[in-house]
Structure 1
Amino acid sequence: MSFHDEPLAALADNDTSNGLGPHYDLDACVALMRGGSKSFFAASKLLPPRVRSASIALYAFCRVADDVVDEGDDPAEGLRQLRQRLDCIYQGNPENHLEDHALALVVHQHTLPRALLDGLLDGFGWDAMGTRYDSMEALHGYCARVAGTVGAMMAWIMGARASSTLARACELGVAMQLTNIARDVGEDARNGRIYLPLDWVRAEGLDPLTWLQDPADHLAIRRVVARMLEHADALYQQSSQGIADLPRDCRAAIQAARLIYAEIGHQLVRSGLNSVDQRTVVGSARKMALIGQAQLQAVWDKPSHHNPPALEGIRFLVDACQHAAGPSQPLPFGFPNRSVTERILWMINLFERLSTERRQQSMVRQTMHYGPG
Structure 2
Amino acid sequence: MPLSSPDRPRAGPADHAACRAAIRGGSRSFYAASWLLPRAVRRDAYGLYAFCRLSDDAVDGPRARADAVERLRLRLAAACAGRPFDDPADRALAEVLDRHGIPPALPAALLDGLAWDAAGRRYRDLSDLVAYASRVAGAVGAMMTLVMGERSPEALARACDLGIAMQFTNIARDVGEDARAGRLYLPEAWLREAGLDPDAFLARPAPSPALAAVLTRLLRAADLLYARSEAGIALLPAPCRPAVRAARLIYAEIGRAVERNGHDSVTSRARVAGARKGRLLARAAATPSRRAAGGPALPEAAFLVEAVAAHPFAPPPPDPAWWDLGHKAVRLLDLIEVLRERESLGDAAPS
- TM-score normalised by structure 1 residue count: 0.80
Compute the displacement of 1:75 (Å).
4.7
Compute the displacement of 1:271 (Å).
2.7
Q: Which residue of 2 aligns with 1:229?
A: 219
Matched, 1:280 2:270: yes
Greater CA drift, 286-295 or 77-86 = 77-86
Alpha-carbon contact 1:143-1:174 (below 8 Å) kept: yes
Of 20, 37, 41, the residue aligned with 1:47 is 37
Compute the displacement of 1:308 (Å).
2.1
Seen in structure 2, the aligned counterparts of structure 1 residues 342 and 124 have a Cα distance that, compared at 3 Å, is farther
Alpha-carbon contact 1:113-1:326 (below 8 Å) kept: no
Q: Which residue of 1 aligns with 2:186?
A: 196
Alpha-carbon contact 1:27-1:347 (below 8 Å) kept: no
Compute the displacement of 1:77 (Å).
2.3
Note the alpha carbon deviations across 1:197-234, whole angstroms, 9 max, x for none. Answer: 00000001111111211111111111000000011000
Matched, 1:323 2:301: no
Seen in structure 2, the aligned counterparts of structure 1 residues 72 and 265 have a Cα distance that, compared at 3 Å, is closer
Compute the displacement of 1:270 (Å).
2.5
Corresponding residue pairs, total? 318
Matched, 1:159 2:149: yes
Q: Which residue of 2 aligns with 1:135?
A: 125
Seen in structure 2, the aligned counterparts of structure 1 residues 203 and 26 have a Cα distance that, compared at 3 Å, is same
Aligned AA for 1:302?
Answer: R
Could you tell me how far apart the structure 1 residues matched to 2:283 and 2:33 are?
A: 12
5 Å-filtered alignment, 1:4-23, equals: 23=13
Aligned AA for 2:201?
Answer: W
Compute the displacement of 1:98 (Å).
1.4
Matched, 1:210 2:218: no
Matched, 1:168 2:158: yes
Compute the displacement of 1:196 (Å).
0.4
Compute the displacement of 1:340 (Å).
9.8
Q: Which residue of 2 aligns with 1:183?
A: 173
- SS of 2:222's equivalent? helix
Alpha-carbon contact 1:75-1:125 (below 8 Å) kept: no
Seen in structure 2, the aligned counterparts of structure 1 residues 264 and 248 have a Cα distance that, compared at 3 Å, is same
Alpha-carbon contact 1:114-1:324 (below 8 Å) kept: no
Q: Which residue of 2 aligns with 1:70?
A: 60
5 Å-filtered alignment, 1:230-309, equals: 230-297=220-287, 300-304=288-292, 306-309=293-296
Note the alpha carbon deviations across 1:115-153, whole angstroms, 9 max, x for none. Answer: 110000001100011100010100001100000011001
Could you tell me how far apart the structure 2 residues matched to 1:32 and 1:159 are?
A: 23
Note the alpha carbon deviations across 1:311-356, whole angstroms, 9 max, x for none. Answer: 12111111111112569xxxxxxxxxxx9999999999xxxxxxxx
Seen in structure 2, the aligned counterparts of structure 1 residues 28 and 170 have a Cα distance that, compared at 3 Å, is same
Q: Which residue of 2 aligns with 1:59?
A: 49
Q: Which residue of 1 aligns with 2:338?
A: none
Seen in structure 2, the aligned counterparts of structure 1 residues 18 and 309 have a Cα distance that, compared at 3 Å, is closer
Compute the displacement of 1:50 (Å).
2.0
Percent identical pairs in the alignment equals: 47
| Root mean square deviation of aligned Cα | 2.7
Could you tell me how far apart the structure 2 residues matched to 1:287 and 1:74 are?
A: 32
Compute the displacement of 1:39 (Å).
0.1
Seen in structure 2, the aligned counterparts of structure 1 residues 73 and 258 have a Cα distance that, compared at 3 Å, is closer
Unmatched 5+ residue regions in structure 1? 1-16, 328-338, 349-373
- SS of 2:207's equivalent? coil
Q: Which residue of 2 aligns with 1:87?
A: 77
Of 89, 92, 95, the residue aligned with 1:102 is 92
Could you tell me how far apart the structure 1 residues matched to 2:108 and 2:171 are?
A: 22
- SS of 1:25's equivalent? helix
Of 290, 301, 311, the residue aligned with 1:314 is 301
Structure whose CA Rg is larger: 1
Q: Which residue of 2 aligns with 1:28?
A: 18
Q: Does 1 or 2 have the higher relative contact order (CA < 8 Å, sep 6+)?
A: 1
